[in-house]
């Protein structure tokens, strides 16, 4: 089991790389074929069977980063999430979800599960006991997302996995916000780890992809549904994603550092009411995060002081981009209320702490002084 950061640096660069045996080139060649000669493996290689050379190489790399046996790469984070869930559920089954999961996931279960007769409920809090309270005889699994979007709530992974094991349930985590650099849930007993590779794994806001990481036997079952649902990723994008992950470790370290420095800086500003960052000692989940994460991540959020117009503040930024994307090497900021969480009802938003004053910030790798002065120049224009 990997848990030394120094190993991860090397794995990012080299795990799963393909050799260029024809020309001796330095990087993994791209094999774009959709058709291959039958080989001694009795399954034919085909992109929708998730087994072309580039797909297999990339899966090996991502599995290595999570300290897992196996992985499957998909055409989006939602393809990974929907396929993983549907592969392990049938009509009549029940799943327990953390309340503040990613909006697309929430929308998926709300609109699709009913059609298949799959039941679900949301835990009323973040403790293992809140999940335990929702268990029914039909419950098959628990689904969490930590740190969560946008207020970076933290769930104790060990407590959740122990609860699940004692009740014979599987556990699934959306590990997108942490990235494999900051958190490896399999080491804490979680069964399925999912990433929207559109975020940190891709890291440059130019790739849409997703991944499921788990044991060989779980991945074999996910594959049985995946080949029917057909959410595979093109080999061109697979190749580009493999290239992107080579710099994952250094990118995420720089993003962690910027997020931590910014959260300290913002806490001292009189135009800020509250900062949410798991690395801050006053964050509710700080002690758990310290135990289960290698780094606190590149995402933070904050409440602007009352009376400051959030929209004007975002529009006044010049270096920091006010966009939906996150986890790229460029810093971005948005109002969850107006964008990512606009589809929730007002009461759902209230329950998750998503107020008018809330700004979600995704730290890029720019110089910290440039980020600070951009924030300050915007605030000075509207005060
Ligand atoms: C973006 C995101 C997803 C969905 O990923 P797509 O690649 O857009 O399908 C899922 N979970 C989290 C936490 C995300 O940020």
Q: Ligand 1: which atom is nearest the Cα of residue 177?
A: 13
Asked if residue 147 has pLDDT above 50, the reply is yes
237 lines ligand 1 (CB under 6 A): no
3-state secondary structure 203-243: CCCCCCCEEEEECHHHHHHHHHHHHHHCCCCCHHHHHHHHH
Which residues are annotated as catalytic?
Answer: 48, 102, 174, 199
Angle between helices 77-87 and 216-229 (to 10 degrees): 110
Q: What pLDDT shows up at residue 324?
A: 86
Ligand 1 centre from 362 Cα, in Å?
14
100 lines ligand 1 (CB under 6 A): no
| pLDDT-above-90 percentage for the chain | 90
With CA atoms as reference, report the closest residue to 379 among 323, 333, 325: 333
State the DSSP H helix or E strand holding residue 379, giving kind and residue range, or none if neither.
helix 368-382
User: What stretch(es) of the chain map to CATH 3.90.1150.10?
Assistant: 248-382
Asked if residue 4 has pLDDT above 70, the reply is no
The residues, ordered by sequence, that sit 6+ positions from 159 with a Cβ below 8 Å of its Cβ are 127, 128
Q: If you average pLDDT over every residue of the chain, what do you get?
A: 95
SS3 143: strand
161 lines ligand 1 (CB under 6 A): no
Ligand 1 centre from 335 Cα, in Å?
17
Out of 73-77, 265-269, 308-312, 339-343, least confident range: 339-343
CATH, domain 8-245, list 3.40.710.10, 3.30.420.40, 3.40.1390.10, 3.40.640.10: 3.40.640.10
263 lines ligand 1 (CB under 6 A): no
Q: What pLDDT shows up at residue 3?
A: 46
301 in Cβ contact with 360 (< 8 Å): yes
Read off the pLDDT band of 339 (50, 70, 90): confident
210 lines ligand 1 (CB under 6 A): yes
| 29-78 per-position pLDDT tens digit | 999 999 988 766 667 899 999 999 999 999 999 999 999 999 999 999 99
SS3 75: coil
| 355-373 per-position pLDDT tens digit | 999 999 999 999 999 999 9
| 89-134 per-position pLDDT tens digit | 999 999 999 999 999 999 999 999 999 999 999 999 999 999 999 9
Ligand 1 centre from 273 Cα, in Å?
28
Ligand 1 centre from 195 Cα, in Å?
7
Phi, then psi, of 237 in degrees rounded to 5: -70, -35
State the DSSP H helix or E strand holding residue 367, giving kind and residue range, or none if neither.
none
341 lines ligand 1 (CB under 6 A): no
Ligand 1 centre from 303 Cα, in Å?
23
Antiparallel, parallel or unpaired: β 272-276 and 299-304? antiparallel
Q: What pLDDT shows up at residue 2?
A: 45
Q: Ligand 1: which atom is nearest the Cα of residue 105?
A: 10
Tokens for 332, please give them.
Answer: 């971005």
User: What stretch(es) of the chain map to CATH 3.40.640.10?
Assistant: 8-245
Distance, in Å, from the CA atom of 317 to the CA atom of 374, rounded to the nearest integer, reads 6
Asked if residue 5 has pLDDT above 90, the reply is no
Which residue's CA lies nearest to atom 5 of ligand 1? 77
Q: Ligand 1: which atom is nearest the Cα of residue 101?
A: 13
175 lines ligand 1 (CB under 6 A): no
Read off the pLDDT band of 1 (50, 70, 90): very low
Q: What pLDDT shows up at residue 38?
A: 78
Distance, in Å, from the CA atom of 290 to the CA atom of 294, rounded to the nearest integer, reads 8
CATH dotted code for 248-382: 3.90.1150.10
SS3 73: strand
Q: Ligand 1: which atom is nearest the Cα of residue 145?
A: 13
Please choose from 98, 151, 196, 233 the residue to mutate so as to test ligand 1's pocket, defined by most ligand atoms within 8 A of CB: 196
186 lines ligand 1 (CB under 6 A): no
pLDDT greater at residue 329 or residue 349: 329
Ligand 1 centre from 70 Cα, in Å?
21
Antiparallel, parallel or unpaired: β 119-122 and 70-74? unpaired
78 lines ligand 1 (CB under 6 A): yes
With CA atoms as reference, report the closest residue to 57 among 225, 186, 216, 240: 240
Q: What pLDDT shows up at residue 42?
A: 62
3-state secondary structure 155-203: CCHHHHHHHHHHCCCEEEEECCCCHHHHCCHHHHCCCEEEEECCCCCCC
Angle between helices 248-267 and 5-14 (to 10 degrees): 130
Distance, in Å, from the CA atom of 250 to the CA atom of 256, rounded to the nearest integer, reads 10
Burial, 197: exposed, middle or buried (Cβ in 10 Å; 0-12, 13-18, 19+)?
Answer: buried
Distance, in Å, from the CA atom of 88 to the CA atom of 264, rounded to the nearest integer, reads 42
Phi, then psi, of 296 in degrees rounded to 5: -90, 0
Ligand 1 centre from 74 Cα, in Å?
12
Cα of 380 vs its chain's centroid, Å: 34
359 lines ligand 1 (CB under 6 A): no
Distance, in Å, from the CA atom of 167 to the CA atom of 169, rounded to the nearest integer, reads 6
The structure's pTM equals 0.96
The residues, ordered by sequence, that sit 6+ positions from 283 with a Cβ below 8 Å of its Cβ are 152, 154, 276, 277, 289
């Amino acid at each position: 089991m990997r848990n030394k950061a120094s190993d991860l640096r090397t794995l990012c660069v080299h795990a799963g790389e393909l050799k260029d045996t024809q020309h001796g080139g330095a990087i993994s060649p791209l094999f774009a074929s959709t058709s291959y000669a039958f080989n001694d493996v009795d399954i034919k290689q085909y992109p929708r069977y998730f087994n072309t050379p580039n797909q297999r190489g990339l899966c090996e790399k991502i599995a290595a980063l999570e300290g897992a046996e196996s992985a499957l790469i998909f055409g989006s984070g939602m393809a990974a999430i929907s396929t993983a869930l549907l592969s392990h559920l049938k009509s009549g089954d029940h799943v327990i979800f953390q309340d503040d999961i990613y909006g697309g996931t929430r929308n998926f279960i709300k609109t699709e599960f009913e059609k298949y007769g799959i039941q679900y409920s949301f835990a009323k809090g973040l403790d293992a006991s809140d999940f335990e309270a929702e268990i029914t005889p039909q419950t098959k699994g628990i689904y969490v997302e930590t740190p969560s979007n946008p207020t970076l709530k933290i769930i104790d992974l060990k407590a959740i996995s122990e609860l699940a094991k004692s009740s014979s349930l599987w556990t699934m985590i959306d590990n997108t916000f942490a990235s494999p650099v900051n958190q490896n849930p399999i080491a804490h007993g979680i069964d399925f780890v999912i990433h929207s590779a559109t975020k940190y794994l891709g890291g440059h806001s130019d790739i849409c992809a997703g991944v499921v990481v788990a044991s060989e036997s779980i991945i074999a079952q996910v594959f049985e549904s995946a080949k029917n649902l057909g959410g595979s990723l093109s080999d061109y994008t697979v190749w580009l994603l493999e290239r992107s992950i080579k710099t994952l470790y250094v990118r995420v370290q720089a993003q962690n550092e910027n997020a931590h420095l910014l959260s300290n800086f913002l806490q001292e500003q009189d135009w800020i009411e509250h900062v949410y960052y798991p690395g801050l000692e006053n964050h509710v989940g700080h002690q758990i995060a310290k135990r289960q994460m290698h780094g606190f991540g590149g995402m933070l959020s904050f409440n602007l002081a009352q009376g400051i117009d959030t929209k004007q503040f975002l529009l006044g930024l010049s270096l920091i981009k006010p966009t939906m994307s996150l986890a790229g090497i460029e810093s971005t900021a948005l109002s969850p209320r107006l964008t990512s969480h606009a589809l929730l009802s007002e009461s759902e938003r209230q329950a998750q702490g998503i107020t008018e004053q809330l700004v979600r910030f995704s730290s890029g790798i720019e110089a910290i002084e440039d980020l600070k002065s951009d924030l300050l120049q915007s605030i000075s224009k509207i005060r």
